[in-house]
Structure 1
Amino acid sequence: MNVWGASDVDAAAARGATLRVGPRDVVTPLARERARELGVTIADADGIDRPASSPATPVPDLADRGTVHTMRPPSPALFRRGAPLPGGLAPDRSGGTERVVVVGAGHVGMIAAMRLADADVFDEVVLVDIDEGRAAGIALDLQHTAALSDFATRVRGVGTVEEAGPADYVVITAGRPRQPGMTRADLVSTNAAIVGDLARRVAATSPRAVVVVVTNPLDEMTQHAWTSSGFPSSRVLGMAGVLDTARFQALVALEDGAGRARSVDAIALGSHGEEMVIPLSRATAGGRPLPQVVPPVRLNAVVDRARGSGGEVVGLLKTGSAFLAPGMSAARMVLAMVRESDEVMSAAVLADGSYGIRDVYLGLPVRLGRQGLREIVTIPLAPEELAALREAGDRIRERLGAMPRAS
């Protein structure tokens, strides 16, 4: 199988020739568009015309020889950003423009925007902040790195969600950060008002967007964003599980003999805080059960440190909170969606009865797709781990009941 691009069409036009392709070859949408512009005929090797507007070649599915499916290209990179996928494979993107909006140009928003721009998969990354000058300044500074990081993404900064324009993904980092001595719960009233207002404005501006909430207290703010936006729960997600998992992996890697952080296979569930649940029964390092690699006493200390890592960073910084890992974690979620990576990760989602929990947002294992939550994944848990996860759901539900009503 060969892949034919726009440059092949240009070469055929220069020769005044027909572009002849094999029956299983892929002609990119940009090449077809170029062929229409130049009047180049695309034909199969046997001489049969394949119109420039024709769909991708149907091929039989080997698992079901009675079914014919439209062939997908070997890589999403074959498609121009914003170009339609063939055969109805693309999600409905009306109202979206291959744009990701990051609300809040603080440190977390800045890191998330940088990571998303570097990925070079969006036409545009927009930073939004009530301090418009800060948003614009960071955006311009980030745009200046395009040659250094080799990305074509446009970056701009504005003062309102409305100025940012319709988006495919919106990351909400805005809110008051924790200060030394504060708990996440201390932020409830202030941040609920901010997140609720933003969720409603995002819904009006980007009615088909997927929202990723980073603002603390994470679980409560994600549920509040869902109810305020009116979006399906599948399109409102909380970030913390990716962050908490990464923190645990990094801390385990500091232990003797544990190896690199990426070799640690673990997942953080439950709440983003004291009710965090890290199922050690399934955790491994380098393929070995984690309790065989790290002594149990040390391993329990690592779990406790992971639960309190955010507060530890706040205490050390004294005038701010963690931002590098949170910003990168938010970007990781968005990129997993747009790339349809199919990886299992932890995210705060609305429980659907899985694990015996329902109607409350908390960290669960999920697969994400371009339209947000694809599925909640069931993984085996030890009885005490399942009980702890259910307890986390109960505690979050209690906090939601006590949360002041934000208009």
Structure 2
Amino acid sequence: MRKKISIIGSGFVGSTTAHWVAAKELGDIVLLDIVEGIPQGKGLDLYEAAPIEGFDCKILGTNSYADTADSDIIVVTSGAPRKPGMSREDLIKVNADITRSCISQAAPLSPNAVIIMVNNPLDAMTYVAAEASGFPKERVMGQAGVLDSARYRTFIAMETGVSVEDIQAMLMGGHGDEMVPLPRFSTIGGIPVTEFIGPERLAAIVDRARKGGGEIVNLLKTGSAYYAPAAATAQMVEAVLKDKKRVIPVAAYLTGQYGLNDIYFGVPVILGAGGIEKIIELPLNEEETALLTKSASAVRSTLDILKTLG
């Protein structure tokens, strides 16, 4: 029997995730949205690409959560963008309400699924999803580190002129400006990246990676990134469904690792059929630990706002 992937939210990130997942033939896809016609149209359009591209999977666009029943993976991309005059607290509350609604309807229909959160603020929304689903924490995670590290690797490739395939890079922390790139754990063909790039240029690349999402928003003017976020999500889906045991950074629930408790935070994990099968604790130096602590404080402040809002 084919695996089933339900993607909640058929905007640019959701529909492009469906595209990557279909191209990889990872399973049958349900594309769900509250707006009538949008998921049906996008789903049918993608399905009609199958004879051309040669991927063999079924794609259903729907407005009904009943169609998501017995999913192996639930991906949530639904969320509201921040509008003029909207405070950070307002945005958190709106997206928390959306997340609770999505998860409370989808999770009971697929009790054995792995949930991958993609909406923002990522770390906090993953926490909301875990509470709303009641799932074991290893089966609820957030997609952020895969995207952030991909941006970091891209900028290193641009700087050095080498293939992106030979670049391995690690980032940790919350998704956004407080993420923690780790040059000490970044390599090109197994060679430390510091052998290719000097300290000042590397610091500039790290800063650009931190602000990678904002750079694209500024360029697009009326939207945000979706190709790379969707590809990152599809990589996580593939790691779970194919039990690949990938070592990648995801937003995982911490219970003392890195000195942090009761928080979803970006850390390297082994990702396989069981979801987050192991959290990897890296031996951080004093500078890295300080950056990690700062990032954790930013994530914690968002969680505090969330808890205040109820």
Bucket of the pairwise TM-score, normalised by the shorter protein = over 0.9
Task: Give, in whole Å, the separation in 2 of the partners of 1:368 and 1:301.
Answer: 30
For the pair 1:160 / 2:64, whether they are aligned, the reply is: yes
User: Pick from 7, 21, 24: which aligns with 1:119?
Assistant: 24
For the pair 1:307 / 2:214, whether they are aligned, the reply is: no
1:250 aligns to what? 154
For the pair 1:241 / 2:151, whether they are aligned, the reply is: no
How far did 1:102 drift? Answer: 0.3
Q: 1:181 to 1:108 in 2, by over 3 A?
A: farther
How far did 1:145 drift? Answer: 1.1
For the pair 1:104 / 2:9, whether they are aligned, the reply is: yes
For the pair 1:356 / 2:259, whether they are aligned, the reply is: yes
- Report sequence identity in percent: 39
User: Pick from 292, 297, 306: which aligns with 2:200?
Assistant: 297
Q: Is the 8 A contact 2:68 2:110 kept in 1?
A: no
One-letter amino acid of the structure 1 residue matched with residue 137 of structure 2: S
> What SS does structure 2 have at the residue aligned with 1:216?
coil
Structure 1 runs (4+) greater than 6 angstroms displaced: 179-186
Q: Is the 8 A contact 1:346 1:364 kept in 2?
A: yes
Scaled by the length of structure 1, what TM-score is found? 0.72
One-letter amino acid of the structure 2 residue matched with residue 380 of structure 1: P
> What SS does structure 2 have at the residue aligned with 1:346?
strand
For the pair 1:341 / 2:228, whether they are aligned, the reply is: no
How far did 1:359 drift? Answer: 1.4
Task: Give, in whole Å, the separation in 1 of the partners of 2:299 and 2:257.
Answer: 16
2:230 aligns to what? 327
Task: Give, in whole Å, the separation in 2 of the partners of 1:111 and 1:340.
Answer: 23
Deviates more, 1:315-324 or 1:282-291: 282-291
Task: Give, in whole Å, the separation in 2 of the partners of 1:184 and 1:132.
Answer: 29
**What is the CA deviation profile of residues 178-216 of structure 1, one whole-angstrom value per residue up to 9, with x for unaligned ones?**
569999776312111101111111222111111000001
Task: Give, in whole Å, the separation in 1 of the partners of 2:116 and 2:284.
Answer: 27
Q: Is the 8 A contact 1:180 1:314 kept in 2?
A: no
For the pair 1:259 / 2:162, whether they are aligned, the reply is: yes
> What SS does structure 1 have at the residue aligned with 2:185?
coil
Q: 1:142 to 1:202 in 2, by over 3 A?
A: same
Q: 1:325 to 1:297 in 2, by over 3 A?
A: same
Q: 1:294 to 1:180 in 2, by over 3 A?
A: farther
Task: Give, in whole Å, the separation in 2 of the partners of 1:130 and 1:309.
Answer: 30
Q: Where do residues 64-79 of structure 1 align in structure 2 (5 Å cutoff)? A: none
Task: Give, in whole Å, the separation in 1 of the partners of 2:59 and 2:309.
Answer: 32
Structure with the larger RCO, 1 or 2 (CA within 8 Å, 6+ apart): 2
User: Pick from 231, 237, 245: which aligns with 2:135?
Assistant: 231
Q: Is the 8 A contact 1:180 1:315 kept in 2?
A: no
Q: 1:150 to 1:183 in 2, by over 3 A?
A: farther
User: Pick from 258, 267, 273: which aligns with 1:370?
Assistant: 273
Task: Give, in whole Å, the separation in 1 of the partners of 2:105 and 2:46.
Answer: 26
> What SS does structure 1 have at the residue aligned with 2:183?
coil
Task: Give, in whole Å, the separation in 2 of the partners of 1:191 and 1:312.
Answer: 23
**What is the CA deviation profile of residues 337-377 of structure 1, one whole-angstrom value per residue up to 9, with x for unaligned ones?**
11111120000000122222221101000011213111101
Q: Which has the larger radius of gyration?
A: 1
**What is the CA deviation profile of residues 365-392 of structure 1, one whole-angstrom value per residue up to 9, with x for unaligned ones?**
0011213111101233222112322332
2:109 aligns to what? 205
> What SS does structure 2 have at the residue aligned with 1:281?
helix
- Give the CA RMSD over aligned residues: 2.0
User: Pick from 148, 151, 157: which aligns with 2:52?
Assistant: 148
How far did 1:258 drift? Answer: 4.7
For the pair 1:171 / 2:75, whether they are aligned, the reply is: yes
> What SS does structure 2 have at the residue aligned with 1:316?
helix
How far did 1:406 drift? Answer: 6.3
One-letter amino acid of the structure 1 residue matched with residue 18 of structure 2: A
One-letter amino acid of the structure 1 residue matched with residue 25 of structure 2: D
> What SS does structure 1 have at the residue aligned with 2:60?
strand
User: Pick from 295, 300, 303: which aligns with 1:400?
Assistant: 303
Q: Is the 8 A contact 2:246 2:272 kept in 1?
A: no
Task: Give, in whole Å, the separation in 2 of the partners of 1:405 and 1:138.
Answer: 38
Q: How many residues align?
A: 310
Q: Is the 8 A contact 1:177 1:321 kept in 2?
A: no
How far did 1:267 drift? Answer: 1.1
One-letter amino acid of the structure 1 residue matched with residue 222 of structure 2: T
Scaled by the length of structure 2, what TM-score is found? 0.94
Task: Give, in whole Å, the separation in 1 of the partners of 2:129 and 2:34.
Answer: 19
One-letter amino acid of the structure 2 residue matched with residue 187 of structure 1: L
Q: 1:403 to 1:155 in 2, by over 3 A?
A: same
